[in-house]
Chains A and B, each alone.
Chain A
Amino acid sequence: MRPIGIAIAVVVVIALGFAAWLVLIPAPMAFANGSMVALSDYTGANPTGVPKELAQADPIKRGEYLAHAADCIACHTAPGVQAYAGGVAFNLPMIGTMYSTNITPDKETGIGNYTDQQFLDVLHKGIRRDGALLYPAMSYTSYTYMTDDDALAIKAYLFSLPAVHAPPKANKLAWPFNQRGLMAAWNLFYKADDRFRPNPSQSVEWNRGAYLAEAMGHCGECHTPRNFAYALDNRRKFAGALTAGWRAYNISADKASGLGDWTDEDLATYLSTGHADGHGGSAGPMGEATDNSLTFLTPGDIHALVVYLRSVPSRQTDLPRRVDVPAPASYREGATAALDPRGAIIFASACASCHDWTGVSPTSKYATLTGVRAVNDPSATNVAQTVINGVIRKTAEAMIFMPAFGDGYSDADIAAVSNFVTARFGAEGGHLTEKDIVSLRKQAAQQ
């Protein structure tokens, strides 16, 4: 009996240990050396709030800057609808469709009746005014690190906007995900309800960058993989993930698959403009994050973000090292029609005039494919999404445009051209099928 008892005990301990490992996940900033202190005990420059350029601005202006930094608009504005009126659909495979809510100050359908405390409860704890528990699609797991002052400045800004009457759309979730009450169990493990705590062992810029990346910009919500319970797995922090049908790439320090081979200058330029020569431009959700959020940040804040991003430990993933030399000038060399006749024909007729057979665009640096991560991703996910959705971005410097081919080409065509493009300009060709394109379209759909 005795040995059996010991064996059972060992199994139980291992099982409990494994369960704990599964549910207990390190905090987003736990990777850094040094211990964190309460903000009030921190003696360095205040890493929260607005940058010094806006220190004297009125509260609404400050709230506007912070709302941009937190990128509220990205999820709370559906295409073609007034800003912050909600209604954006999030299509989660197997789980269902969720809609973002109206956060304009409309009393009936928006947040017009929210008190300061109720607003803080939403951002910090994921609790709605009526007491219902939010799903983590609302990134309260990140906003929980926001200071009360900053959260209320955002509230002041939102309340300065015109109220829009836009009733919330009902979520369409499969059982058991439609049981909101179950979020209580989830929150038990994954709700932090913790404010930002600076790390005195790190630089002032690092702390500012950490606040911007974690409490405001919530980079990890797309770039950190999720675990079996849909919680951010910070053991693989910034290692990349598939979000809304687009791949959010590895932004850890790994040289081959992450940002290790980017210069600081490239990173800063990419973050502030959505493009860096030799790396290409942002499109899809990152294009939105650039245009709605990152372009509004001051150069000092961008620098702080770069310092912080640089410090995130390397997580190697299966993305190949980027090919940074152009493809052959002749269509007869490199990846050719022999590989994929359909892809080659579509490329010749619809793509080559701007992207060239070399991948180096004669028209615009924004159309150059050489070195772009998306074409160096054998999943070809973002290439396919870009073909489907096109690119329309207006930056201070340029109008960046690629037509959306999603309505003109069949799923098989889009798969073929995406496979061809990744094979010709990237490290390894994709193997997308018609079915994959159907699924990608669905995941990224906004209605």
Chain B
Amino acid sequence: MSCHCIGEALFYLSVAAIAAIPALAQNYAASGKPVGTYGNVSVPDFPAPGRHRPFPERKDQLMPEQGNQPFLASFALNAKASGIKIGTGSKTGGDPMHISVNGEDRVIGDDVDPKTPLLWVLRDHLGLVGAKYGCGIAQCGACTVHVDGKPVRSCQLTVDNVGNRAVTTIEAIDNTPNGAKIQAAWIDIEVPQCGYCQAGQIMSATALLNRTPSPDDADIDAAMAGNICRCGTYIRIRQAIKNASAKSV
């Protein structure tokens, strides 16, 4: 099927993108300017690609880990270079921001710029490191979370744009019936290989089942095409979604 070819092409593009990160980051750091192309797409000067560990840690992704200070430091630096105001003191200009994450009301400290992508607030400030930083430009899907039940790329959603919407992350998705089913199906046939994309895959797959309880191949393609897997586990992803949906009917 032609969809497989596309999947394969995306796979190679993602490998190229990931391989290009260190060189681009260096180039970026030296110039302080946009770096031009990054894999198959051009990237902006924010957020700085490649300032993060590009590779995942193979520890339990549900465990909180230490915050990523270098990102914030580089963000401030880039913001300064690009004219975005990052002062000291309150960035929200008064009342602290609140967002609802996994059913809890979380206060966002006034050390967080309101324009910070939700992904970094989750990872660096709230200790929820399940959502992963992949490309930073909404082209890989590793950072997918649910916002009011919809799959959203948290690298492109600024925290001040979350508003009153409810954020659900991979850490709490097993509290939902479809989330639990998808995770069980994932474990059952051992979907992940390296695992870096799986939080995003599971979030997108759960949203798919919420919307379409018995998805066919075309439904899966339409819903999952934006989540790329550099290990190429697409066949197992598809199977796991079907297995989970069989349990739900």
Contact = CB atoms under 8 A, between A and B. Distances in A.
Interface in B152-173: 152-153, 156-158, 161
Interface in B22-66: 33-34, 37, 39-44, 46
Interface stretch (B120-128, B182-190, B218-226): B218-226
B107 interface: no
Interface residues of A, number: 33
Contacts of A399: 44, 46, 84, 115
Nearest to A80: B33
A301 to B, nearest CB: 22
Given A352-B226, A394-B84, A409 B46 contact: no
B59 to A, nearest CB: 27
Interface of chain A, main secondary structure = loop
Contacts of A390: 41-42
A92 B136 CA distance: 36
B41 A398 contact: no
A53 interface: no
A17 to B, nearest CB: 53
A46 interface: no
B150 interface: yes
B141 interface: yes
Contact of A345 (B3, B37, B42): B3
Given A352-B226, A364-B157, A345 B44 contact: no
B158 A364 contact: yes
B192 interface: no
A407 B44 contact: no
Nearest to A329: B211
A405 B158 contact: no
B138 interface: yes
Contact of A407 (B42, B225, B226): B42
A423 B239 CA distance: 32
A394 B83 contact: yes
B40 A394 contact: no
Nearest to A365: B161
Interface string A380-400: 000000000010101000110
A357 B43 CA distance: 24
Given A394-B83, A408-B39, A401 B226 contact: no
Contacts of B39: 408
Contact of A392 (B10, B34, B228): B34
A353 B44 contact: no
Contact of B138 (A80, A354, A394, A407): A354
A15 B13 CA distance: 62
A403 B42 contact: yes
Given A354-B153, A392-B34, A349 B40 contact: no
Given A348-B226, A363-B161, A364-B156, A353 B151 contact: yes
B5 to A, nearest CB: 10
B82 interface: yes
Interface string B66-90: 0000000000000000111000000
Contacts of A20: none
B100 interface: no
Contact of B40 (A337, A357, A407): A407
Contacts of B141: 353
B243 interface: no
A404 B150 contact: no
Interface string A344-388: 110011101110110000111101000000000000000000000
- Report the 7 A-B pairs with minimum CB-CB distance, sorted nearest first: A408-B40, A403-B41, A404-B42, A349-B225, A348-B225, A353-B226, A331-B222
Interface of A: 80, 331-332, 337, 341, 344-345, 348-350, 352-354, 356-357, 362-365, 367, 390, 392, 394, 398-399, 401, 403-409
6 contacts: A363-B161, A367-B156, A399-B84, A401-B44, A403-B41, A404-B42
